[in-house]
Structures are given as C-alpha cells and as structure tokens.
Amino acid sequence: MNPYLEALQPKLSKSDYEELCAIDNPIVHEFIAKASDLCHPDNIFICSDSPEDIAYVRRQAVASGEEKAILSLPGHTVHFDGEYDQGRDRQATKYLVPRGITLSKALNQIDRQEGLAEVKALLKDSMRGRTMIVRFISLGPTNSIFTILGLQCTDSWYVAHTEDLLYRPGYREFLKAGPKSDFLRVLHSAGKLNDDMVSVEHEKKRIYIDNMDNTIYSVNTQYAGNSVGFKKLAFRLAIRKANYEGWLAEHMLLMGVHGPNGRKTYFAGAFPSACGKTSTAMLPGETILGDDIAYIRNIDAVARAVNVESGIFGIIQDVNPEDDALIYKVLTSPGEIIFSNVLVKDGKPYWLGMGCELPKEGINFSGAWYEGKKDEAGNEIPPAHKNARYAVALKALENCDPELDNSMGVELGGIMYGGRDTKAYVPVQQSFDWCHGIIAYGASLETETTFATVGQEGVPEINMMSIQDFISIPLGQNVRNNLEFGKKLKKPPVIFGVNYFLRARNNGKYLNAIQDKHVWIKWMELRVHNEVEAIKTPTGYIPKYEDLRRLFSQVLGKNYTKEDYIEQFTIRVPENLAKIERVQRFYQENVSDTPLELFGILYLQRERLLKAKANFGDYIAPENFER
C-alpha cells in the first residue's frame, strides 16, 4: 500500500479517501501527507470540485466565521483581515535561495535551509483543531498547452472559497495527468486567530517561495494576496518555468477592444497594482479576458495569450457608477461575491470613492467602527481600507469575453505598459519597434508605490514590466527573454506606453480624467491596424490632435480642446532625461546581467531628446515635431 495514503487515511472520510486514491500521482499524496504531518490538522477535506463539495466550502467559510453573512444581497459575504494584514507584504515575502547562489539585489531572499527551518517551525502544529482543505487548481484553460496544475493545502475556508471564484477547477485535470505530472504546491495556514477569526501574529508572517521544490509556504496571514497561493505567489514559480521553456508569464490584463466594422483586437497590459489595470480591462463596450496574470506563448510565430485565472480579486476603492459602471452593477446585484475590508452598515457594503456619502458608523476591519476612531498609534481609522477588495467570477460580468476558456488563447494585437509617472511620459505613445517598447516602456516602467503593498506610499521606483515584485529569475534575464520573444514572431504585437497619472507642471493637477483612458485605448486599436497617422517624437509616436478630438467626441461625447492636447502631449525634455538617468542607474546598481541592448536603446533615446532640446527647448509642443 502507498505509505502516504496509509498515513492520511485516518484523517479522511471514506469518500475523501477514495477521491484522493483516484489521483495516480504519488507526489500528490506525499505533499499532502507531509503537510499533514507538519501542521497536524484534526481532519482533511479533499475538494473534488463537485457541486456538493463547492457548496460545502462556501457554507464552512461562513460557519467558521472567516466570512460574515451580514450583507443583504443574496450570495454576498464579507471577510475582514487584520490591521497589519491588508496588502501584499514585501518584507515578509522572500525567495529561498541555496547557499552560493544570489538572485538580483532588488529581490528579497534568504538562505534556503534557514528559511525552510524558520517557516516550518511556524507551521508546526498550526492546524490543530482545524480541517486542512485540499484544493486542486488549473492555471490557464484546461486541456491546453497553457495549462499548469496547482495544489494548495490550507486551513482557511475563506481562502478555499476565494479559489472557487478565481480559478478553474483542477481535480479532474489531476485525475487525467498521470503519475509523473508536475504541479505547483502551496502550504498555507492562517496561524493563530482571535475571536473574530482574524490572523493576529502579524510579526510572525512569512511568505517563502522555494524555487527548487516548486513550493510556496505562507503562514500567519489571511489577506488573499499572501494566502491564495495561485495569485502572485505561484506566479513567481510560473515565471521561472516560462524562463526555462521559452514563453512569458506576465502581470498583465487581457481585453478585447472593438474597432470599426465589428473588428475586435486583443490587448495585454502591464500595470502595477492600483495603477488602473482592472479599470482598463473593464472599460464599457469592450470585453474583459483577465485583469491580472497572463501566459503568452509563441504558437506558429504568433503571440497568443490566456488568462491564468477565471475571476477577479479587484481593488474596490473608487469603483463608482459613473467611472466603473459595469463592475459597480455586479457589486450591487445578487450573486456570489466576497467583499474584504469594506465598511458594513445595515446589510450594505461601503467603500472609499463609491460615489455616495458613507455612514458615520458600522463594522469594518477594526471591529465596531465610528467616525474619528483611532488605532493604537493614534491614527484615525478610515471607514474602509484603501486596499479593500472584491472577489468575483469573470463569468458573472456581462462583458466577459467569450474566448475566456479558449485552449489556444487569443492573438495579441498590442501590449501596453503603464504606471504612476506624474512628471515625464505623455498619456499614450507607441514604440518605434518591439525592442524599443520593451526597453523604453517595459523595462523602464516607473511608478509610485501604492496602498496595495504594505509600506510607505508615494515612493517613486522602477517596476520593470510591472513584474519586479514577483520575479524569480535574474532581472536582466527577464529583459532578455522579452526581447528575444518578440524577435521570433512574424508580426509582434505593437507596444504602447500609457500614463494615466501625468500632472500639470504649474499646479500639480492630474491632466487626465479617469474616463480618458478609453480614448487612448481606441487610438491604440486604430494604430495596430495602421488606420490613423501619428507624430514621431524622441520617446515614441504620439496621436494627432484631430484624431483624438474625433475619438473624444465619439467615445465620451466630450469636446477635447487643443489646449488640453498641447499640455498633455508636450514632450518634457528635462523630466525625460532624468527618467533615463534613474532607469540606467537602477540597472547599473542592481542588475549585473543587464543586456547591453538596454543601455543602447536608452542612449539613443537620450540623444534624440538632446537634439530636440537644442532645436526647440526644454518643453516641446507636438506641433514642433510635425514640421
């Protein structure tokens, strides 16, 4: 008899034991048995993805107290994380690196043996008195070249329920995969909980990634970005797999953009968290394929992409009926949704920026809340957290793209990179070619830190391809992989840089309205098909005024003035030169394996800017480049 199954049998019901035995993979049995031996749960639940099992997970999420059924709309529940567990935790997230090996200095890392000893000591006996839930996940569509299998053991019913909304079921895929199939592994425990079923030992929070064993360990945290292992944690392992196999795992949205005569063009887009990724993917009139993670493969010399997930774990702040009508409608209608860290009053969830006055009291992550309530440090507690979230299945959205589960993915026409760049880049521009776009917009992506990550907000930093927090290979190698990927395609996707956060030089006001991004998207769609002309500037091709004026009228019903155009698309030479210096310094100081091509492309961009400055000065209106 299989010794691992024999060890597990006392903790399994008869049906669960049979479901586990049906998976012909001893490594699956070994991982679960070792997780049980370490964490010592009272019993183990094997989720087979049957309707009965999924319903049971949902009921237990509420029965355990991890989710509260205090919202009036059917299917809506709310979960609260601890005060110090409200976002991805960079300091607690580290790579386990074997002695003698060093990753890029920009990445958190710890000696593998030291890290394993530490995290396993924290996980030891962590599930006593609880059930260990075993979930099987398919990352990417099933029966596909894109499919990656995942297995998570957790003691959190909230985490297990969230996975139902965010991922495709994988139990049947494991049944078919055979005894030698590979899979990503996650072991998670919420750790010590208080009476409100919230993780409390935040100082012992650890999220460790073991590249050598394709395993993630997460303990003393419930926040889904730290605990739902197949979000950004397993993403790190997928990046490593993609590096070895010659494809791309990217922090990107996927969307279908409608063009003239019924045409639909698919775009991918890389944005750091809280920089407009989900709101771009949810633009009205377009279709959403995904809002977070994409796998991109070269199939017959064509770039094709899939959404790794099948749901959204979205930031809810500023979702309102005017700017985000589609998602607001879903969030205020009956259906299965998990809200987290919002304010609840009289059975209704409230969040910051929802477009109405918020109650003066209610229940939030701090417990009973009232206006003016302060935390232990004397800081006023907001009614809802800035990083409050919602989890919902994509198919609950009326604009879900019909190709979501296409096993071959969709052909990419364009790729956009965007961050919080308040000073330099124009709102939208097109690269000169694939390599220029990868370097000038992707590898040079600069943003300000936001509330989506634990730590100080508003700090400018390089966030290469919006993937820097998740990279598990040398940073220079990732740049090289992107450069080489495009060179092997018959027709590479057109690369664009977007910037929703440009501010005026005189008063610091944002120069773009939230809805303006829809116009930039429509212009990009036309450029992919060469249906509008553009102006060549030192940093890329920018739109012509007449094209934007027409699009603003068609898409938003707005009058777009020449004055707005000039202010938004003036090339700011000093700020662009300073940006190049920061990017170059980052790679020189942190990335020992930077491809020389990066420095060459930055050098040429600097030379173009200096030449333009000599001809026209520091701030150059678009019309100067049309001469």
Residues serving a catalytic function are: 275
Cα distance between residue 203 and residue 224, in whole Å: 18
Cα distance between residue 252 and residue 249, in whole Å: 9
In a 10 Å sphere around its CB, with 0-12 CB exposed, 13-18 middle and 19+ buried, how is residue 83 labelled?
A: middle
CA 163 to chain centre: 15
Taking the chain, what is the end-to-end CA distance rounded to the nearest angstrom?
Answer: 81
Closest CA to 625 of 547, 550, 554, 571: 571
Task: Read off the DSSP letter of residue 379.
Answer: P
436 token code pair: 């220029």
Residue 105 and residue 137 in contact, taking contact as beta carbons nearer than 8 Å:
no
Residue 163 and residue 47 in contact, taking contact as beta carbons nearer than 8 Å:
no
In a 10 Å sphere around its CB, with 0-12 CB exposed, 13-18 middle and 19+ buried, how is residue 447 labelled?
A: buried
Closest CA to 119 of 191, 225, 28: 191
Task: Supply the DSSP string of 100-138, one letter for each residue.
Answer: T----TTS-EEEHHHHHHHHHHHHTTTTTTSEEEEEEEE
455 token code pair: 């730590």
Cα distance between residue 94 and residue 565, in whole Å: 44
Cα distance between residue 75 and residue 396, in whole Å: 12
- Phi first, then psi: what are they for 252, rounded to 5°? -140, 145
Strand bridging mode 93-97 / 109-111:
parallel
Contacts of 54-57 spanning 24+ positions with Cβ under 8 A: 54/164, 57/133, 57/157, 57/160, 57/161, 57/164
Closest CA to 389 of 517, 237, 533, 224: 224
Go through the chain and tell me how many residues it has. Answer: 627
CA 217 to chain centre: 19
Residue 616, helix vs strand vs coil: helix
